[in-house]
Amino acid sequence: MTIDRIADRVRAAERLNAADALDLYRRAPTALLGQLADIVRARKHPDPVVTYIIDRNVNYTNVCVAKCNFCAFYRPVGSPEGYVLGFDELFRKIDETIAVGGVQLLLQGGHNPDLPLTWYEDLFRAIKERYPSFKLHALSPPEVIHLSRLSQLPVPAVIDRLIAAGLDSIPGGGAEILVDRVRALLHCDGKATANEWLGVMRDAHRAGLRTTATMMYGTVETDEERLEHLLRLRALQDETGGFTAFITWSYQPDHTELAGHEATGIEYLRTLAVARIVLDNFDNVQASWVTQGGKVGQLSLAYGANDMGSVMIEENVVRAAGASYCMDEVEIVRNIEDAGFLAKRRDMQYRILGDPMFREREVPRMLELATARADGDHSTPAELRLYPARSGAGKKMRAGEILPS
C-alpha cells in the first residue's frame, strides 16, 4: 500500500495493521507523520488543552539484582554506593512535593532482595496515614514480579496486598521492548518476560488499578520489534482499557554496560508520532522532555503528544545515564502556552485539577532536579532492621556487622 493510502486510512480513523504501521514508520516523511499524529491527537482531544502533573519521581532504592545492561542507575547488593531511603526521608520528600502543589509520588526502585513485601506495605500505610489524599503511583511490573518471587505469592495476591496498603496506580516502567528476543539481549528477561510484564498489567487492571505503558527504544531492537511492542500494548488495551497513557523515550547510553549511542531527536519524534497513530485506543500520549530536553519535548506537542508529563522534582535514573534536563512548572507551562495550548494540571487518571499552581499561589522556582540523596550519603535507615534481609550482605548489615557509612 502506498504511504498516501495509509495516510488516508489514518485520516479516516481506520486502524493500522502491523505492515501498514511499519511502512509508515519507515517511509513516511517526518512532517507527514507529525500531521497524521496531530490529527489523531485532535480527534481525541478537540479542546486545545495540554496537561501535566505535579508529582515527584522518587527511587526508593538503587540496589538491584536484575542487572539490566542498559541501566546506569543500579548498584549490586553489598555495594557501598547502594542505598535505601528511610520512611522519614520519604515523608520529607512528600512534604516538599505538597509544598509545590504536588499530588503524588511516582515511586520506583531496584529489585532489592532485602526489602520484603511487608516493608512496602508498611511504607504505603505510613504514607496514607500521614497524607490520606496523596497518591501512590508505584512499583512497575518487574518490581511487582520481584515481590511475587520474594514473597512466594501470586502476582494478583501481591497486587491486592499493595492496594490494601495504599497503592493507587502502577507506572509502566520496565517494559523496554516487549519482545523476548530483545529482552534476552538486554539481560532484562529475568526480571520480566514480555508476557509477564503484560500479565501484571492485566492483573492490575482487573484489580481496578489504572496504569501507564512505556517503551524504551534505541538499544538492540528492530523497527518491527518496536511495532510489535506497540501492537501488544494495543491488544491489551482493547482487552482491559486500563492504560491511561503511553510514554516513550530513547535509551540513554552513558555509563551503561551496553553503551552505544542515543537515538536522534528526529527518531524520537517519528517514534512518538507512530505510537500516537498505532495506539488508537490510548487517550493520552506523553512527551518525554526529561530525555529529549525542553525543546524537543515541546515539539512533541506537534507530533501527537497531549501531555507534558511530570514536573518530576527529582530524577535519578536518566541522570545516571547522562541526561540532565530540568523543567519546573513555570517552564512546562511556558512551553505549553508557547505552542498554542492551554496548560492544565491533572492527576494520574488525567482528571483536570486546575490551572497552573504558580498562578494560584507562590511556588518556589526549581532550576535543577533533586536527587534521591546528597552525594556521599549512604546512611541506612533505622527501620530497616525491623525487616528480614535475604542477601548475605543485607543480613550482616542488619546484624550490625557492617556499620552504615
Q: Rule CB under 8 A: is residue 306 a binding residue for another protein? A: no
Distance of CA 48 to the CA centre of its chain: 25
Q: Rule CB under 8 A: is residue 23 a binding residue for another protein? A: no
- Which of 154, 241, 340, 354 touches another protein by CB under 8 A? 340
In this structure, the number of other CB atoms found within 10 A of the CB of residue 154 comes to: 11
Nearest CB to another protein, comparing residues 36 and 94: 36
Q: Rule CB under 8 A: is residue 292 a binding residue for another protein? A: yes
Query: What's the rounded Cα separation, in Å, for the pair 140 and 376?
Result: 27
Q: Rule CB under 8 A: is residue 302 a binding residue for another protein? A: yes
- Smallest distance, another protein to C-beta of residue 261, A: 6
Kindly state the helix (H) or strand (E) to which residue 137 belongs, with its residue range: strand 135-138
- Smallest distance, another protein to C-beta of residue 160, A: 43
Q: Rule CB under 8 A: is residue 360 a binding residue for another protein? A: no
Q: Rule CB under 8 A: is residue 116 a binding residue for another protein? A: no
Contact in structure between 361 and 62 (CB atoms under 8 Å): no
Locate all alpha helices (DSSP H) within 100-140, ordered by sequence: 117-130
* Cβ neighbours for 5, distance < 8 A, ≥ 6 positions apart: none
Q: Rule CB under 8 A: is residue 338 a binding residue for another protein? A: yes
Query: To 10 degrees, what angle do helices 117-130 and 141-151 make?
Result: 120
Nearest CB to another protein, comparing residues 15 and 334: 334
Judged by CB under 8 A, which stretch of 13-21, 107-115, 192-200, 257-265 contacts another protein?
257-265
- Which of 295, 359, 385, 396 touches another protein by CB under 8 A? 295
- Which of 10, 21, 34, 366 touches another protein by CB under 8 A? 34
Q: Rule CB under 8 A: is residue 364 a binding residue for another protein? A: no
Residue written as cell 535475604? 390
Q: Rule CB under 8 A: is residue 257 a binding residue for another protein? A: no
- Smallest distance, another protein to C-beta of residue 259, A: 7
Query: What's the rounded Cα separation, in Å, for the pair 135 and 356?
Result: 19
Query: What's the rounded Cα separation, in Å, for the pair 103 and 129?
Result: 15
**Number of residues in contact with another protein, rule: CB under 8 A?**
32
Contact in structure between 286 and 47 (CB atoms under 8 Å): no
Q: Rule CB under 8 A: is residue 299 a binding residue for another protein? A: yes
Query: What's the rounded Cα separation, in Å, for the pair 109 and 326?
Result: 21
Q: Rule CB under 8 A: is residue 254 a binding residue for another protein? A: yes
Q: Rule CB under 8 A: is residue 342 a binding residue for another protein? A: no
Contact in structure between 151 and 117 (CB atoms under 8 Å): yes
Contact in structure between 338 and 298 (CB atoms under 8 Å): yes
Residue written as cell 502476582? 155
Judged by CB under 8 A, which stretch of 47-55, 72-80, 228-236, 297-305 contacts another protein?
297-305
Nearest CB to another protein, comparing residues 28 and 107: 28
- Which of 61, 104, 298, 310 touches another protein by CB under 8 A? 298
Contact in structure between 334 and 277 (CB atoms under 8 Å): no
Contact in structure between 279 and 233 (CB atoms under 8 Å): yes
The residues that touch another protein, with contacts defined as CB under 8 A, are: 29-31, 34-35, 38, 253-254, 259-261, 263-269, 292-299, 302, 334-335, 338-340
